[in-house]
Amino acid sequence: MAQTQKRMNPRHAKSEVDDSKPRYELTEQSYLGDVLYEEGAEVVFEGVPGPHMIPLNEAAEKMCEEHSKAMQVVDPIQALTVVGEGATVLQAVHNQG
Protein backbone atom coordinates (compact mmCIF):
# COMPACT_ATOMS: atom_id res chain seq x y z
CA MET A 1 0.00 0.00 0.00
CA ALA A 2 1.34 3.44 -0.92
CA GLN A 3 2.17 6.02 1.69
CA THR A 4 0.48 9.41 1.63
CA GLN A 5 2.77 12.41 1.96
CA LYS A 6 1.71 15.98 2.78
CA ARG A 7 5.18 17.49 2.77
CA MET A 8 8.29 16.71 0.83
CA ASN A 9 9.63 13.21 0.98
CA PRO A 10 11.91 13.08 4.07
CA ARG A 11 14.83 12.24 1.78
CA HIS A 12 14.32 15.66 0.21
CA ALA A 13 13.95 17.89 3.28
CA LYS A 14 14.37 21.58 2.39
CA SER A 15 17.70 21.86 4.19
CA GLU A 16 19.05 19.02 2.04
CA VAL A 17 17.49 20.02 -1.30
CA ASP A 18 19.90 20.40 -4.18
CA ASP A 19 18.48 23.46 -5.96
CA SER A 20 19.87 22.14 -9.25
CA LYS A 21 17.11 19.50 -9.18
CA PRO A 22 13.57 20.44 -10.30
CA ARG A 23 11.25 21.18 -7.37
CA TYR A 24 7.47 21.57 -7.70
CA GLU A 25 4.33 22.22 -5.68
CA LEU A 26 1.48 19.84 -6.49
CA THR A 27 -1.93 21.35 -7.26
CA GLU A 28 -3.70 18.02 -6.75
CA GLN A 29 -3.13 14.65 -5.12
CA SER A 30 -0.53 12.77 -7.18
CA TYR A 31 1.42 9.52 -7.34
CA LEU A 32 5.12 10.02 -8.00
CA GLY A 33 6.99 6.78 -8.02
CA ASP A 34 5.25 4.62 -5.44
CA VAL A 35 4.33 7.47 -3.07
CA LEU A 36 0.98 9.29 -2.96
CA TYR A 37 1.47 13.01 -2.30
CA GLU A 38 -1.32 15.33 -1.17
CA GLU A 39 -2.28 18.60 -2.85
CA GLY A 40 0.14 21.36 -1.81
CA ALA A 41 3.08 19.01 -1.26
CA GLU A 42 6.51 20.16 -2.43
CA VAL A 43 8.42 17.48 -4.31
CA VAL A 44 11.70 17.00 -6.12
CA PHE A 45 10.89 15.32 -9.44
CA GLU A 46 13.29 14.81 -12.33
CA GLY A 47 10.80 13.32 -14.80
CA VAL A 48 8.46 15.03 -17.27
CA PRO A 49 6.32 17.48 -15.28
CA GLY A 50 2.54 17.41 -15.53
CA PRO A 51 -0.01 20.22 -15.58
CA HIS A 52 -0.58 19.68 -11.84
CA MET A 53 2.99 20.73 -10.98
CA ILE A 54 3.96 24.36 -10.23
CA PRO A 55 7.69 24.98 -10.70
CA LEU A 56 9.44 26.32 -7.58
CA ASN A 57 12.97 26.81 -8.91
CA GLU A 58 14.87 27.51 -12.15
CA ALA A 59 15.54 23.82 -12.80
CA ALA A 60 11.79 23.10 -12.68
CA GLU A 61 10.99 26.09 -14.91
CA LYS A 62 13.49 24.79 -17.46
CA MET A 63 11.88 21.33 -17.40
CA CYS A 64 8.43 22.91 -17.90
CA GLU A 65 9.71 24.85 -20.93
CA GLU A 66 11.36 21.75 -22.42
CA HIS A 67 8.22 19.67 -21.94
CA SER A 68 5.53 22.29 -22.56
CA LYS A 69 3.48 19.94 -24.78
CA ALA A 70 3.33 17.30 -22.04
CA MET A 71 2.02 19.91 -19.62
CA GLN A 72 -1.00 20.81 -21.74
CA VAL A 73 -4.34 19.45 -20.64
CA VAL A 74 -5.97 17.61 -23.53
CA ASP A 75 -9.68 16.95 -23.93
CA PRO A 76 -9.85 13.13 -24.17
CA ILE A 77 -12.65 13.32 -26.75
CA GLN A 78 -10.58 15.59 -29.01
CA ALA A 79 -7.59 13.31 -28.55
CA LEU A 80 -9.58 10.28 -29.74
CA THR A 81 -8.27 9.12 -33.12
CA VAL A 82 -10.20 6.50 -35.05
CA VAL A 83 -8.49 4.79 -37.98
CA GLY A 84 -9.72 2.30 -40.61
CA GLU A 85 -12.70 0.05 -39.90
CA GLY A 86 -13.10 1.46 -36.40
CA ALA A 87 -14.22 4.76 -37.95
CA THR A 88 -17.07 3.01 -39.75
CA VAL A 89 -18.19 1.24 -36.59
CA LEU A 90 -17.95 4.43 -34.53
CA GLN A 91 -19.89 6.39 -37.16
CA ALA A 92 -22.61 3.70 -37.27
CA VAL A 93 -22.95 3.74 -33.48
CA HIS A 94 -23.03 7.54 -33.47
CA ASN A 95 -25.75 7.63 -36.16
CA GLN A 96 -27.91 5.16 -34.18
CA GLY A 97 -27.62 7.12 -30.95
pLDDT of residue 96: 53
In this structure, the dihedral spanned by the alpha carbons of residues 65, 55, 44 and 57, taken in order and rounded to 10 degrees, is 90
Based on the structure, what is the number of domains in the chain? 1
Residue 36 or 2, more confident = 36
Mean pLDDT score, 65-71: 79
What is the C-alpha separation between 16 and 11, in angstroms, rounded?
Answer: 8
**pLDDT at residue 7, rounded to an integer:** 47
pLDDT tens string 6-50: 444 444 444 465 789 999 999 999 998 889 999 999 999 999 998
The percent of residues above 70 in pLDDT, for the chain, comes to 54
The answer to whether 63 and 55 are in contact (CB under 8 A) is yes
Which candidate, 84, 1, 73, places its Cα nearest to that of 35?
A: 1
* pLDDT-derived band at 95, boundaries 50, 70, 90: low
Q: Evaluate if pTM is beyond 0.85.
A: no
What is the residue range of 72's domain?
Answer: 3-96
Per-residue pLDDT, 9: 47
- In DSSP notation, 8-65 reads --GGG-GGG--TTS-EEEESS-EEETTEEE-TT-EEE--S---TTEEE-SHHHHHHHH
